[in-house]
Every structure is written in C-alpha cells, then in structure tokens.
Chains A and B, each alone.
Chain A
Amino acid sequence: MITFDKVGLTYAEADAPVLADVELTIPEGELCLVIGRTGSGKSTLLRAINGLVPHFSGGTLSGRVIVDGRDTRRHRPRDLADVVGFVGQDPLAGFVTDTVEDELAYGMESLGLAAAVMRQRVEETLDLLGLPDVRHQPLADLSAGQQQRVAIGSVLTTHPRILVLDEPTSALDPQAAEEVLATLQRLVHDLGLTVVLAEHRLERVVQYADRVVLVPGAGRPVRHGDPAVVLQDSSIAPPVVELGRVTGWRPLPLSVRDARRRAAPVRALLADRRPPTPERRAPGPPMEPLARVDHLVAGYRGLRVLDGVSTGLWPGEVVALMGRNGAGKSTLLRALVGSKRPTSGRVRLGGVAPDELKPTELLRHVGLVPQEPNDLLYAHSVALECVQADRDAGVGAGTTRTILERLSPDIPDSAHPRDLSEGQRLTLALAVVLAARPPLVLLDEPTRGLDYTAKHRLVEILRDLADAGRCAVLATHDVELVAEVSSRVLVLADGELVADGPTPDVVTASPAFAPQTAKILAPQRWLTPTQVATALAEVTEVSL
C-alpha cells in the first residue's frame, strides 16, 4: 500500500538529512505505529506519505514514495486526498469550517462528490464515530476527544484507503484517548483501512499495533517489524515492556492482558514485600502550607468551572492534578497565579492573594509553565532569553543559563526557542520560571509531546525540586508520570475535588488512573517497573 524506496529528506537550510535511505513497505490493512524521540523525523515520515513533504514543507526528497500506486513526487497532497487522509497534531488548527457536519463534508466537497453520496457518507461517518448527538454543534464547543474524532471523521468521508495520524491522543485524557483508539481499531478491523500513526504514549497504543517503525533520528536507518521484536532493545518502551524486561518475559508482553497472564509467579515472589510509600513530609501544624485554596469558585461566562475546591500545598511535595479535559485543572492553576480571579472563596500564597501581587512580586512566590511554553518565550535566541529572564527576576547574570545547563545541558546558546524540540522548549521555560526561585512551581500538561527520555529528565528535575523543599504541581493526563513522580494526587471532576490523597491510594482506586504496572500486579500496589525491579533484586538477594 505504502512503499518507501530509498527515501531521504533534507530540509532547506539544514546541513544534515532528517531521513536517509528509508526502506519501508506497509501492506494494506495494517495498523502501523511510528515511534522515535522528539525531533527524530516521525512527523516528516508521516507527512511524506501524503506528499505534504516535500510539496508543502520544501526540502529535497530523494528516492520515491509510492502510495497506492501513485508517486508523491508527481502528486500533490490535494491529488492524494482521495487515497490518504491526514490528521495533524492539533485538530482545532486544521478545521476549515464551523460545525461538525460541514467539517465532515468539506473534503468531499473539494473532491466534487454528488450531494446524495455526501449526505449518505456524512450519516455513516457520524454513526461510525459516535457523533450524531453533536452533528450541528460548533467545533469550538466540542470536547478535545470529540474534536479529535471529528478530525478523523473529516478525512474518512472521502473514503481514503490510508489514514495517517500525528499524535492523535497526546492532548487527550485517558478516557478520551480510549475512545479515539477504539475508533481506530474499528476502522482497521471493519473497514480494512491502513492506519499509520505516530505516538509518544506507547502504553496507550502499542497493544493495537501490527507493526512498529522506529525512527532513530539523525538520518540513521529506520527499523521496523513486529512490535515485540522492535521494542526488545529499543530505548523507547512503555512500562509494560520495561516490566517484561525486568522480569525476563519472552516474547515481550505488549498489553496489560498479556502481562497479567504471566504475572502470577512475580506476584507470588513479591507477595510479602511492601511497595514503598511516598513519604509525606507531615503536612499540618508544624509546617505552613505554601498555598491554600479555600472553597474556591471560579468560572467563565456563567459557566462554573471550579465549584468549591479546598486544598493546600506543602513544601517538599510533588502534587499531580488529574481529571478529564475541561474538569478545571488549568483554571485551578491560573487561580493559583492570580490570572483567574475567584468568583468566591479565596486563594492565599503564604498569606497574600496572588491577584493582588505585583508581577515583580508574584514571580518570587509562584511560577507557572503554561500549556504552551512558547507563550513565555519571546527572545530570538536561547542566550537572549536567559539574559532577559535574569533581568526579569532581578538575579545575577548567568543564573538562568546555569539552571538550564543543569536541566538540559545540550541546548545551544544560539538556537531560536521556536526551533527547539518540545522537551527542550519545556526545560527552557522551566529554567526561566525557576530563575526567580519561586517556592511553588506549577506545570500545565508538561508531558505533551515529550518522549520517554525527556520525561525521565523531567522526573529527575521535579524530584530535585521537592528535595530542595519546594513544591511542584503538575496538571497532567499521564498516569505513568504521576505514578513515577508524584507524592499526592488531586482528582478534579465537574469542578469539584473528588479525590485528594497519597498517589498509591488514589491511582490504584480507579482503573482510569492506574498505571500499567499497578494493573498488572493488582491487587499489590506497585506503581512503576523501577519499584518492581528494586524489590525483585532484593528478593533474589534474600533467596540466594
């Protein structure tokens, strides 16, 4: 269906090729998962399938990409629109019309299909994706999961043979991601579609993949094959695979189900060992909270987003803030920095209300890395950005650069912040925030677009912050990250705090928030492969 024949790609003004000598054949009806570190060329590979690379992006393509018998060198993306459906990273940015139905019909209108055909296909697609209830609704009012499904539907209506998706679940909460992935699986199984998708959150998708393509980046050769084989020695692996490596299972399990069927011996080994509990640095009277939220109510245009939230944040904690898209996570963070004024209730940062603080004062109390780290950055180079951050925070010259060096040593001074990878940009924004040494650091969806390596770095950084007596709060959908780093979890639903407790208690209580390791080894409460590895090592030592 898709053949890459010695494909290489070099972007204009780049000295090294992004892809080199890619030999790849994807047969019809497969679900193919493309993995790789950020910036390795996954997106380029995907975009080469429908001709956006090089027709739209520029650059030099060597070799041939043949899609359903058509050569992308001679066919522009629009000429391939009836064969390849392409869904970009941000569905909202790719919407051309206003409402669900119009968006579904847009591609067919461009292809000039007859009205009766269009009508029928729109109905089919609405049913297939479970969208009939929202058919007349404006796209902007949909939830993130619905938007992603509309984006998929909008390319499905032209009946393409291939569906290409770039990180379809990275912005979604676990439930919405499940919906989208279930949809994709249905498309592969029922319609025989060929699906190619890139994704960082392997734990969500790897079990559905028929084939994994590993893009190592820097022009090194692409590897592909059976998921269990490719992942065996890949540096990128989901927790279930890591657990499989720790326990020595062969072939590697890819789903919780596979692993759980083989986990009984391990569970028996670990039966008398207790998983480590996050030490809670005794909050309460002896220690003053860094921030207090009392009966906070906040909202927009008559819509109540937060409805009576009360909690406190203590030094030395890493707090995870979880909940559906739109549950009020970002609003709570914004209230903590005073960007969102409470309708009632109050927020106190060590005794003062954040919205009354002057900006120059504020950054000494609290720092926030927004969902879009770009919002925080505006200089033309990393060096200038650091200098500016020193000046903003009123600290000695070079402070920010030193922090950045510690967080991520490989960022060149001369790089433009927008050219950095997601992970690098996040660390730069974090360094800028940390320069003023705020005791409370908030991160909004920090793992969006981060690969496992970058995520490990982030975990280390957050642990360091907690050890230094500061408090980090991260709003996230990433249950694996939560299991790895946080000591306490707050779960928001419908504007209310429905859970507030130590991580193991909260995440094991609900399958939606449970990490893979916990699911595999339930009812034991192990959260990460690392914990299991340590425990197993001790067990083996004892038995020896």
Chain B
Amino acid sequence: MPRTLPSLRCSPSLPWRPVARATSALLGLCFVLGSWAPPAQAEEGFRYWNYHHLTAGAWEFSQVGAAGYQPKDGAVEGYRFGATPNSDKNGLPPRADLDEVSFESVCGGEQAPAGDKRVAVVIDYGVPADADGEAPADPRAGCAVVDTTANGQQALAAVADVRTQDGLVCAIDGHPVSGCGEPVSDVQVSDNEQPVAFELPGAEKAAAGPTDESAADPAASTTDQDSDLLWPAVGVAVLAGLIGAGAFALNRRRNSA
C-alpha cells in the first residue's frame, strides 16, 4: 500500500554532537585495547624446536636451519622443544646426559651401506609447561641412516615425523600439534635443568626382544598406526568423490536440459 508522504520531507535534526563524542570515545577505547600489551616484566620469546650440533662434547646452537646444514657421518644432532627468550643466544639444548647419549650408544647397532652415512638424532620434547596441556612424550634418540648428501632435516625425517612450513621445522612427531614458532610473552627460564633419561634404540630393542628386528624401526610402528587411520580417510575421500560426482552429474543434466 503506497504511503502518502508529506510534500516536504524534513529529516529530524540528528543529535550529532553526543553521537560523535560517544563514537570517538569508543574508537579511542578500541585503539587503546588493540595496542595494549601486557607489562614487560616477563621475558618475551618464541616457542620452537631448538636445533643443536654436538661439537667437542658440548651442544652448540645451530646458526642455520636443519634444511640448510649437512651433518657429517658420525654427527650427533640435537632437537629440543621449548620457549626460548629472544635474548638467549645459546638456545635450549636437549637435556641429555652426554655420557649416556652419544653417537656410539645411538648408532652403534647400525651399519651404513656405501654412499650412506649415520647421524644420531637426539629429540627432547621439552617440559609440560611448554606443551599445550598434555604431557610431552619421553625424550628419545634415533639413528638416521641416510644418503651422504642428506641435510639435517632429512636425517631428522628419517627417524621422526616432521611437520614443516616454508622450510622450517614446526613440529616433530606431531609435537606441538599446531602452530609454528609461536610467540610467548612469558618465558620461564630455569637456570639449571637436570638431565633426563633418553630412550635409546638399543634399549628399545632390548625391551622388545632381540629377535624382533622390526620393532626397532620407528617407521614400522607408524605403519601399523597408519593402517588404522587409513580407512576413515579413504571413507571420507570416497564421500567427497561421490559428492563431486553428484555435482558433475547435476551440472551435466542442467546443461543438456
């Protein structure tokens, strides 16, 4: 129904001033909120996998990423997850007792065929404070038998699952599950960390029994796990395929109609 409008339409004069004042206050509040940062008494840093080389019996914080470094045969590489303050130039080293964890103890049971090299990879998943809720896995070490040209990241990938992003190592064995080098505003630095026990390949072998060769191979254990995961993934992929095929068929019918 058409409404009859008065011939002269006057818009009510707007209460501009109070509106303007209120909105500018709101705007100001927003920017204050947006730029507000917690007080800077705690140290700021990032939470990531610290990468170390064992040189002359001590951990040395690597100056390059694992992908850009080529460990030599017989090298020991250390990875330690944790929040690291920006001021820390030495990084967080793995909490390994270097008397127990050495190239010999890790790679002693492995032989490298010609053209390959052995690299001991020491992985420390860090402390619960740095993990998201769940307790991190026990630290472990593995022996990577890889091509002589392999870089650090490839050696690591030979003994663990590695999640990367833009060439950086973000997670090892799914730890942390998400994120990559996230900023931490409140880094707890403990001055002297006690060495913890590392699970060594030899020990695992002993526990599983000397005849069971495959148990020592981390890849074999993940394969079992994978086959459990395979069927749901295949199922959903088939579902997606069916929906896509349905879309295609529907489109065909429309075009021919």
Q: How far is the CA of A301 from the CA of B251 in the complex (A)?
A: 13
A284 at the interface (CB under 8 A from B): no
CB-based contact A114/B256 at 8 Å:
no
Shortest distance from the beta carbon of A544 to any chain B beta carbon, whole Å: 71
- Beta-carbon nearest neighbor of A116 in chain B: B2
> Which residues of B3-45 are within 8 A (CB) of A?
3, 5
A 104-142 binary contact with B (CB < 8 Å = 1; else 0): 000000000010110000000000000000000000000
Q: In the complex, are the beta carbons of B256 and A302 less than 8 A apart?
A: yes
Contact A114 B2 (CB under 8 A): yes
B227 touches A (CB below 8 Å)? no
**A114 contacts B255, C-beta separation under 8 Å:** no
Cβ of B5: which chain A residues have Cβ within 8 Å of it? Answer: 114
> Quick check: A302 and B2 within 8 Å, CB to CB?
no
Majority secondary structure, A binding face = loop
Secondary structure at the B interface, as helix, strand, loop or mixed, is loop
Q: On chain B, which size bracket covers the interface?
A: under 10
Closest CB in chain B relative to A114 CB, distance in Å: 7
Measured between beta carbons, the chain B residues less than 8 angstroms from A302 are 255-256
Query: Which residues from A are CB-within-8-Å of B2?
Result: 114, 116-117
For window 72-118 of A, CB contacts with B under 8 Å fall at 114, 116-117
Contact with A along B225-257 (1 / 0, CB 8 A): 000000000000000000000000000000110
Name B2's closest neighbour in chain A (CB-CB): A116
Nearest B-chain residue to A119, judged by Cβ: B2
Q: Least Cβ distance of B232 to chain A in Å?
A: 39
User: How far does the alpha carbon of A302 sit from the alpha carbon of B256 in the complex, in Å?
Assistant: 8
Docked pose: A156 CA to B5 CA in angstroms: 24
* Residues on the B chain within 8 Å of A116, using CB: 1-2
Q: Please, how many angstroms separate the alpha-carbon atoms of A117 and B2 in the complex? A: 8
Chain A residue contacts of B255, Cβ below 8 A: 301-302
Q: How far is the CA of A301 from the CA of B2 in the complex (A)?
A: 46
Measured between alpha carbons, how far is A116 from B3 in the docked complex, in Å? 9
CA distance A117 to B3 in the complex (A): 11
CA distance A116 to B256 in the complex (A): 40
Please report the C-alpha to C-alpha distance between residue A191 and residue B5 in the assembled complex, in whole angstroms. 27
A337 to chain B, nearest CB (A): 28
Rounded to whole angstroms, the CA-CA distance of A117 and B5 in the bound complex is 13
- Residues in chain B near residue A117, CB distance under 8 A: 2
Q: Collect the chain A residues with CB atoms within 8 Å of residue B256's CB.
A: 302
In the assembled complex, the CB of A355 is this many whole angstroms from the nearest CB of chain B, namely 25
> By CB atoms of chain A within 10 A, which of B2, B3, B5 has the most?
B2
Chain B, Cβ-Cβ closest to A120: B2
Q: CA–CA, A116 to B5, complex, Å?
A: 12
Nearest chain A CB to B199 CB, angstrom units: 63
A117 to chain B: closest residue by CB: B2
| Cα(A114)–Cα(B1), bound, Å | 11
- Give CA–CA (A441, B45) in the complex, Å: 74
Report the bound CA distance from A38 to B2 in whole Å: 49
User: A175–B215 Cα gap in the complex (Å)?
Assistant: 85
A residues less than 8 Å from B1 (CB atoms): 116
CA–CA, A235 and B75, complex, Å: 97
Measured in the bound complex, the distance between the Cα atoms of B255 and A116 in whole Å is 37
Q: Chain A residue with minimal CB distance to B1?
A: A116
Residues of A near any B CB (own CB < 8 A): 114, 116-117, 301-302
9 A-B pairs, CB-CB below 8 angstroms? A114-B2, A114-B3, A114-B5, A116-B1, A116-B2, A117-B2, A301-B255, A302-B255, A302-B256
Top 7 nearest A-B pairs by Cβ distance?
A: A116-B2, A302-B255, A114-B2, A302-B256, A114-B5, A301-B255, A117-B2
* Additional 6 contacts, C-beta under 8 A, given A114-B2, A116-B1, A302-B256: A114-B3, A114-B5, A116-B2, A117-B2, A301-B255, A302-B255
